[in-house]
Structure 1
């Protein structure tokens, strides 16, 4: 699967987009790289439990692919990057320990083109590669002892919800903790400089940065309160001019529009923002007035809206036409699968997805859709086999675990179902509940001594993880 500038989102067995770029070397800091990754993992688990993280394979695949194209052009990459989405209309993005970059859905929806979106991701990648959070902690450590545990709650809130986060910080040790969230102007200038270079080298329009800053400036004038991005990224007026002058140093031709970007925008509106009747009217009007960048994106949004409104024949007609001209497009295949499930055309979906998955067994959109159809068709054993193989490659995929739990439940395998539920709770740092699930699994193990031993060992691992979380 690949993203082509101006093209669709495709399944491609030869694409290696999710392979990691070569890892660079950087100087040590107050926080070791190992501890930075440990803190990043802990924060991510808490975010899953406390923030509206979107578990959408299509949008996950899109944003991870886009991010990886940028990371591939960055220097000093120390760990694999994880890009994820939050369901929030705020125009915001944030980076934190261990290569995690969060993007609010409002950022994608309000970006005018893919280069604007990519400019924000490149900026956040630069914050990570330059270890700006770790460096600010190192500076503060000279005058005060490092208190990671006391910072976690404020950082977590501020990243997912800047207004709530800033309020929490103000109630605590404001001066010291705010520095852990608000990058200094020097940090911002450095991230801008490096980000624009990454943006241009990755094949995007370097003017995307100044374009995005201009969009922020326009929208902020219409709001009484500061915008989310501006609260976490100080932005003086000169920043737009600086970004524009930096972009002018790169000789870049015309960058074609990205179909995948506009499909993602349509998906966010249809799936996460407005009600189906409004969306049907919105996309129908766009098609009637030729008010779109890509007709396919408007038709795709309309198909999603019809699907949500249970108008399956209308949705199916649109998707059939889209797939006829672009049979490997994952956005279309996903809607095709949902329609097939609702209309109980399981065999048709299984056949189509199986042929695609055979060529691209690592793609989460294909695998998870196929597993879902297999479960609906009560082919539980096949779904279990498919999901277990996938989780070996993607061990932190929440949706895969949820589907695997459903497959075990349908197949009347309570021992395995409780074990899988334990992993789901662990992914949101709910270790006591994870241990409870494993104890339930233990009761179903009967005379399976090896299985009991594995469960006991996993319980100890969860207890160790809980203790590490306490001692951060």
Structure 2
């Protein structure tokens, strides 16, 4: 699925259990982290030179897409930042969005997320919760992450995240310098701030969340204007290719987030641009007009046969219409075109699994295992892999996959129980057996603990097994 949405079933401390694949109710959709290979890839390509100019390793940076209509963004520990879809939709061009990303990168570069002197009593628990939420998303449990981020207001108020004006200025200047070093204009950041200059005089309650945590002032804008306008790249504009990518991002977010009727009004058939046709295809699919959506996506594929995301969308349409066998070919083509994208391999593995064809189970295992190699902490991949192994009768590997799933979402006790089960079913010394041992030892158990457990198991009456963990 190109747009993964899952609901949170419960949150107990840092232990998060997700009910995968359940559609979010309308009132909860503003609290999810979304995954989309296409949008993530575009934003990463834009941002990488700026992060490099800051001295940050692009591959170590994580940008979360938060499904929330409010205008907001954040940066926190672990080189993690989040962008609300509402903020993305408020940008007029790539340079404005990149300016915000550069600013958040400036906070990370200057270690503002780790400062001690300016945080009030609520800052530490707030940042801890925010970081845990972000890490959950990196692990592949996006809605678990979002709920932690959303619930962080209960551990520390929004006021706890307000940076001192001096730190905002430092992040602005760091962003401006990095953009210049990357050969880009910083004009977009000033434009973005100028668009919301009125926030300066709004009461706290009326301000957008972003400008509560990032106080805006005329002096701050003017302090930024000097270094930005003195840059030799100030007059540089976004290329037509980037403008097209920005338009596509905006269209795709609208198409998946808005009611289909709204999307079809915003992108009428008189608009023949690629983003508009893409948006209408998604809207028809979400509106249940399957034949129309399939005809539209086939037209897109005919125009761009090597676009993996058009093939992905075709596979998604078939899959969510309950036609997994027909989805396989489309998802297979998307993987062929982009073999290093774990989410695309998960799509294919899921379709193979849901085909109910025993002859395809081994192929499902291959695809899902490769997805875990590319993104080791993706719970969806591990959960589906456990199902595939179980259907093949490979119970030791199924238990290990379940252990990996629970470990990825922070349920260490459950992970340990499944790993113990797996250890007893796997060939001692095998790679899988060693991984089960790694999970057990990571829980804090020692080799002495395991020896005691083994002795206890040896004394247990024949045929009596410990309780099976609940998956």
Contact 2:308–2:338, Cα closer than 8 Å, also in 1: no
For residue 169 of structure 1, the aligned residue among 156, 165, 189 is 156
Paired residue for 1:373? 351
User: What's the offset of the Cα at 1:75?
Assistant: 2.2
Matched residues in 1 for 2:290 and 2:348: separation?
A: 20
User: What's the offset of the Cα at 1:125?
Assistant: 1.2
Paired residue for 1:282? 266
SS in 1 for 2:315: helix
Higher normalized contact order (CA 8 Å, seq sep 6+, divided by chain length): 1
Q: Does 1:237 align with 2:222?
A: no
Paired residue for 2:81? 101
Q: Does 1:317 align with 2:295?
A: yes
Q: Specify whether residues 76 and 316 from structure 1 end up closer, same or farther in structure 2 by C-alpha distance, changes over 3 A only.
A: closer
Contact 1:111–1:212, Cα closer than 8 Å, also in 2: yes
- TM (normalized to structure 2)? 0.72
Counterparts of 1:161-310 in structure 2, within 5 Å, are 165=152, 168-169=155-156, 178=160, 181-202=161-182, 204-217=184-197, 224-250=205-231, 251=233, 252-255=235-238, 256=240, 257-271=242-256, 273-284=257-268, 287-288=269-270, 290=271, 295-310=273-288
Paired residue for 2:436? 455
Contact 1:350–1:370, Cα closer than 8 Å, also in 2: yes
More displaced, 324-333 or 450-459? 450-459
Matched residues in 1 for 2:337 and 2:259: separation?
A: 36
Paired residue for 2:461? none
More displaced, 215-224 or 233-242? 215-224
- Output one character per residue of 1:429-454: Cα deviation in whole Å (capped at 9) or x when no partner: 222232233345456x2776856665
Q: Over the residues paired in the alignment, what is the CA RMSD in angstroms? A: 3.9
Bigger-Rg structure (1/2): 2
Paired residue for 1:418? 399
The count of aligned residue pairs is: 401
Counterparts of 1:127-142 in structure 2, within 5 Å, are 127-134=107-114, 136-137=115-116, 139=117
SS in 2 for 1:253: coil
Matched residues in 2 for 1:458 and 1:98: separation?
A: 22
Matched residues in 1 for 2:49 and 2:379: separation?
A: 24
User: What's the offset of the Cα at 1:72?
Assistant: 2.5
More displaced, 339-348 or 409-418? 339-348
SS in 1 for 2:206: coil
User: What's the offset of the Cα at 1:74?
Assistant: 1.9
Contact 2:294–2:317, Cα closer than 8 Å, also in 1: yes
Matched residues in 1 for 2:178 and 2:294: separation?
A: 41
For residue 332 of structure 1, the aligned residue among 307, 310, 319 is 310
What runs of 5+ residues in structure 2 fail to find an aligned partner? 1-13, 19-27, 135-144, 446-471
What runs of 5+ residues in structure 1 fail to find an aligned partner? 1-44, 465-472
